[in-house]
Structure formats: structure tokens, C-alpha cells
């Protein structure tokens, strides 16, 4: 990463509710480099992608997909993201620093890698990506669609759609881990209106995924036999009321529709489109969803005890090796690739449910791994990463090379 000359400061986390409003550039880089080292240590599938477009490439599963494609498979990667750059006195968003670190590592490894920062929902960013692909890659053989956004502007009409985290049909009151107060309480969420359900589908469903594939296809930059994946979380009974059977779940169902439509529209070039079901993990998106901090903290306790827990990078490394490029992929009855079978095992879910039913404020640390949850949350923003001196003065100004 390249630091500019300017003001230096000690950067400590500023947490407000379920978000952290700043990020640590050195910590983000260390976290990215941990993931790169992990991928490089793992076996890969024999088949490999060559030219990869990652839409939503700067955090979470999207970032892990880019790292796996590049450092596990030697692929050229074009990353699309929408991140806040730093100023002299304010840090960038974590995704900015993640991308700067990824690009620095790619440069050092001699891997082709370029970056576009902007609204992936817009025609402008799609056109910019296509221009770059035509000029430097020729064609794309893997598209990873991993966007998470609270709103989307329709590129044709200008209408702004907003998503909500609400149940469908009736309101829900459920147990909750209040991360601000570190207590077990309850949360009540009213049922979504039809307009809110549709808005969530318009933001988080498959419409933009389809638009990307259509634009790339019309531009003639999709390779014969190209693959594309979009990510989802299914969960089970505990999370269904506010996730799987709620507005987000309805939007994720629309991904299934889009996958079928993409396969049909690209049949002439043997296109493959899959929705991929992954583990619950700590991400900026999941932290905002009621019940998920408690569910994930309990899941951590169970799966870490079993030695089966996998974070973003372990899930995606396995996905590439076993499913996207594996010779015997795991595909469920809905046609989705499944990478989350260990989490959804009945024995795991029963123990998680037992914790859920019995935990209270006094037993959070005994019955759950909330400490581990909070550590993972901090790592999203570059804090709590082993080996980083958080008392050191550093500049928040870090540039991303190969930023188009």
C-alpha cells in the first residue's frame, strides 16, 4: 500500500450501534494478507478461471472470492466496489483499505488486477468495466456477484429502491443480543408492506445481476462456457422469521429466478449461473440484521468446538475447489450450489437452538462465543488483527494502484 505524506494519527475503533465508522489501514492490510496466505496454502481444483469480474469486491465474500481467484487460481481480476476514499483527517472505509492491500499484493505477485470505484448499479460503471475487459482481457469466464446495499437507483428510470429487514405476514418479537449494551433483550419488528417487500427485491434480488450479464453478453465479452455465481444465505428455523422467510429471503428467492433466466439467455454460449448458499458469517451486512449477532455467537460456540467453523475465506476457497470448479459439485433441489451443509446439520442446529433458548445476559460469555463474534466484527474494519501496533501513529491516506 502507498501512504501519502501528511497528518499521522493513532486510529482506534469508533463503534456506533452495529457499525464501525472508521477503519485501520494497517490492520485491514494484515487481515487481507492473512486471507491471501491461507488461500496460497490450500489445494486448488484442476480447472481454473482465467479472467474474473467480481462485482462487490472489497469486503466479505466478494473480497474472499477475488483473493481466491487471484492467489489460488492465478486469475486476472477486475474488481468493482463503492468505497469511501480517505482524507487527511478521516480514514477511508474498510473496503478501500482492503482493496489497496489486495492490489499491492497482486502487484508484488505480478498478477494483473484493476479496480473500479463507483455505483455498480449504474450503466456508467458497467460500460467502464466492459471497456476495460475489451481493452485488456478480451473476455470474462467467471462473474462473481456479491453486492450488499441498502438502496439501488434504477439505471433506466432513476427511481430509488430501498430495502428493509422485516418479516412478512405478521410482526415478529424475538430474542436478541444487543451489541451496544451487551445484554440479551428482545426485538420486535413489524411486518413489511407489499411496497417494502418489492423494494427489497428490487435492491437485493437478481435484477442487477441479470443486467450485468446482459450488458457483458451484448458487448461480446463473455467466454464460451462462462460461469457466474451470486451468494445467498438460507439458514434454518431460528433465522427464518427475520431472514429466510422475510423480506431478505424473498429477495434471495429472486436470485433463483435470475439464475434460471441467465442460463436461458446465455444457452447459446453454454453459460452457467448458480446461486450459492454459504455459511452465516460476521459481515457489515449481517451485523445489521436483528437476531444474527446472537445466532452467530451461538453458532461459533458449537462449530468451533466441533472444529467445523469456516469464515469467508475458508468457505470461498472450498466453493471454488469443490463446487464451481470441482468435478462433483453439491447441488440442492433448488439448483443451488451448497457450501453450508456443516452449519445446517441437525445436530449443529439443535445445539445452537438449545443455547438460544437458555442464554441470558449473565451467561453470554459462558454459553456463546460473543467474544469471538466481537473480535470478528472488529477485524472487518482492520482492528484486533494480530501483530498490528494500534498505538502507532499512521497516515489514513492510502492510495489504490490501478484504480480506473
Exactly one of 61, 97, 243, 370 is catalytic; which is it? 243
**Cell numbers placing 285:** 451486512
Question: Are residues 73 and 373 in contact, defined by beta-carbon separation less than 8 angstroms?
Answer: no
Q: Collapse the DSSP code of 142 into the 3-class scheme (helix H, G, I; strand E, B; otherwise coil) and give the result.
A: strand
d(CA 198, CA 175) in angstroms, rounded, equals: 27
Question: 250 near 203, Cβ under 8 Å?
Answer: no
243 as an active site residue: the answer is yes
Task: Give Cβ neighbours of residue 17 (< 8 Å, ≥ 6 apart).
Answer: 179, 180
Nearest of 76, 69, 77 to residue 47 by alpha carbon: 69
C-alpha cell at 333: 433441489
Contact 207, 254 (CB under 8 A): yes
Secondary structure string (H, E, C) spanning 262-316: HHHHCHHHCCEEEEEECCCCCCCCHHHCCCHHHHHHHHHHHHHHHCCCCCHHHHH
Region of residue 319 (phi > 0: left; psi between -120 and 50: alpha; otherwise: beta): alpha
HSE, CB side, 13 Å, CA atoms: give it for residue 63. 30
Residues labelled catalytic = 243
Amino acid at each position: 500500500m502507498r501512504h501519502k505524506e501528511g497528518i499521522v494519527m493513532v486510529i482506534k475503533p469508533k463503534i456506533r450501534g452495529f457499525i464501525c465508522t472508521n477503519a485501520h489501514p494497517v490492520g485491514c492490510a494484515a487481515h487481507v494478507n492473512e486471507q491471501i496466505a491461507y488461500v496460497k496454502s490450500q489445494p486448488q481444483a484442476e480447472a481454473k478461471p482465467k479472467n474474473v469480474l467480481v462485482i462487490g469486491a472489497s469486503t466479505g465474500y466478494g473480497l474472499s472470492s477475488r483473493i481466491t481467484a487471484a492467489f489460488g487460481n492465478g486469475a486476472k481480476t477486475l474488481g468493482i466496489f463503492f468505497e469511501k476514499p480517505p482524507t487527511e483527517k478521516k480514514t477511508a472505509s474498510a473496503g478501500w483499505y482492503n482493496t489497496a492491500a489486495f492490489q499491492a499484493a497482486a502487484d508484488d505477485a505480478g498478477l494483473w488486477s484493476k479496480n473500479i470505484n463507483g455505483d455498480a448499479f449504474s450503466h456508467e460503471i458497467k460500460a467502464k468495466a466492459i471497456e476495460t475487459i475489451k481493452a485488456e482481457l478480451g473476455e470474462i469466464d467467471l462473474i462473481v456477484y456479491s453486492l450488499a446495499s441498502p438502496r439501488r437507483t434504477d439505471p433506466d428510470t432513476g427511481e430509488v429502491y430501498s430495502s428493509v429487514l422485516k418479516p412478512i405476514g405478521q410482526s415478529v418479537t424475538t430474542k436478541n443480543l444487543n451489541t451496544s449494551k451487551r445484554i440479551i433483550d428482545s426485538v420486535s419488528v413489524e411486518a413489511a408492506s407489499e411496497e417494502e417487500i418489492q423494494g427489497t427485491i428490487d435492491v437485493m434480488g437478481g435484477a442487477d445481476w441479470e443486467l450485468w450479464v446482459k450488458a457483458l453478453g451484448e458487448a461480446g465479452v463473455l467466454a464460451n462456457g462462462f460461469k457466474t455465481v451470486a451468494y445467498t444465505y438460507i439458514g434454518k428455523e431460528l433465522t427464518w422469521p427475520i431472514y429466510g422467510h422475510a423480506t431478505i429471503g424473498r429477495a434471495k428467492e429472486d436470485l433463483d429466478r435470475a439464475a434460471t433466466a441467465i442460463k436461458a439467455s446465455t444457452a447459446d454460449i453454454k453459460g452457467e449461473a448458480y446461486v450459492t448458499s454459504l455459511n452465516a458469517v460476521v459481515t457489515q451486512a449481517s451485523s445489521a440484521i436483528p437476531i444474527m449477532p446472537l445466532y452467530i455467537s451461538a453458532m461459533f460456540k458449537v462449530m468451533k468446538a466441533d472444529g467445523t467453523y469456516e469464515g469467508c475465506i475458508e468457505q470461498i476457497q472450498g466453493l471454488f475447489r469443490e463446487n464451481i470448479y470441482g468435478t462433483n459439485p453439491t447441488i440442492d433441489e433448488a439448483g443451488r450450489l451448497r457450501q453450508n451443509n456443516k452449519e445446517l446439520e441437525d445436530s449443529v442446529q439443535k445445539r445452537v437452538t438449545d443455547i438460544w433458548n437458555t442464554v441470558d445476559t449473565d451467561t453470554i460469555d459462558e454459553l456463546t462465543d460473543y467474544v469471538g463474534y466481537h473480535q470478528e466484527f472488529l477485524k472487518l474494519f482492520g482492528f484486533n488483527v494480530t501483530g498490528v501496533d494500534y498505538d502507532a501513529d499512521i497516515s489514513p491516506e492510502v492510495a489504490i494502484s490501478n484504480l480506473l
